[in-house]
Amino acid sequence: MNNEKNNETFSTAAFHRPELRRIKLELSYDGTNYNGWQRQKDVPSVQETLETTLGRILGKPVSVTGSGRTDAGVHALKQVAAFSTESRLDTGVFQRALNGFLPHDIRVLRVEEVPFCFHPIANAIAKRYRYLIDDNRPSFPLTRNYCWVYREPLDLRTMQQAASFLLGEHDFACFQTQGSPRKTTVRTVSDVLVERIHDPNGLYPPLIRIEIEANGFLYNMMRTIAGTLTLLGVEGRRGRSKPERMKEIIESQNRALAGPTAPPHALYLVDVRFGVCGL
């Protein structure tokens, strides 16, 4: 899978150290207060917070590898990470200790011991992202930090029709913004969902949910797709519906023809699936 690279590498030399265990974490976090997943100098990150907490529990530095980076302000319903340790602590103890020391905007949902060959990047075969848009007028104040509050209503049907052109294997260079270099910009999208969701309890207004599952994502690919679908939704509402423009944009491989990069605070990493040596 073509994924974002972390700054750690997984050394096969560790296979010759039978005293080491491989521990897999599934965690959820609110990305509002973090400058993304990856550890960076002088700014808070989820990775650094997790490693600091594990170091406090184990009494020594710990290196944690995540399944990929999420940008500043992006949230995760399920991020997957792993680390190696000589500790004999039970996985349940790990979970309770982590949740006891971590800040409340990061929660560990599951801890399990896995085969040492497990690697959150190398074994990942698919990721699923969600993007939420509030196009109501007036907008709903309680969701403003977790949705893109858009300035006018969007035409859902146009967005749905346009999204169908994303399915399959394509060169998605048009949706990549400058970031880490990639060997190829070809990705395969296996599932696309665009719908208006309604809360039966009335806690939030109807929101537009965009979900995409693919074998890899380019830098800001999901946010640029969301921005492009939103742009086409505006045109549809104004009576200038042409969902086929999505196909033209993809085939052009030209970033300038796609829509804006949507804000990060409405993006969620939903799930990560694994193949060989994955669970």
Q: Characterise 42 by phi-psi region: left (phi > 0), alpha (psi -120 to 50), beta (else).
A: left
CATH code of the domain made up of 125-271: 3.30.70.660
Out of 71, 135, 155, 271, the active site residue is 71
The ranges assigned to domains in the chain are 12-122, 125-271
| pLDDT tens for the 279 residues of the chain, in order | 444 444 444 444 445 467 799 999 999 999 999 999 999 888 999 999 999 999 999 999 999 999 988 899 999 999 999 999 999 999 999 999 999 999 999 999 999 999 999 999 999 999 999 999 999 988 888 888 999 999 899 999 999 999 999 999 999 999 998 766 678 999 999 999 999 999 888 888 899 999 999 999 999 999 999 999 999 999 998 888 799 999 999 999 999 999 999 999 999 999 999 987 755
Q: H helices of the chain, where?
A: 46-58, 91-101, 156-163, 221-237, 245-252
Task: Identify the pLDDT of residue 279.
Answer: 57
Sort 65 into a burial class: Cβ within 10 Å, 0-12 / 13-18 / 19+. buried
Task: Identify the pLDDT of residue 10.
Answer: 46
Assess whether 71 carries a catalytic annotation.
yes
- CATH architecture of structural domain 12-122: 2-Layer Sandwich (3.30)
Give the separation between CA 178 and CA 244, rounded to whole angstroms. 26
Give the separation between CA 156 and CA 163, rounded to whole angstroms. 10
Task: Identify the pLDDT of residue 180.
Answer: 62
How many Å from the N-terminal Cα to the C-terminal Cα in the chain? 16
Q: Hunting for tokens 């040596």 — which residue is that?
A: 277
CATH topology agreement for domains 12-122 and 125-271: yes
Task: Identify the pLDDT of residue 267.
Answer: 98
Task: Identify the pLDDT of residue 4.
Answer: 42
Task: Identify the pLDDT of residue 165.
Answer: 98
Task: Identify the pLDDT of residue 11.
Answer: 44
- Considering the entire predicted model, what is its pTM? 0.91
Q: Which of 101, 235, 110, 215 is nearest to 167 (CA)?
A: 215
Task: Identify the pLDDT of residue 205.
Answer: 87
Task: Identify the pLDDT of residue 131.
Answer: 98
Give the separation between CA 31 and CA 131, rounded to whole angstroms. 14
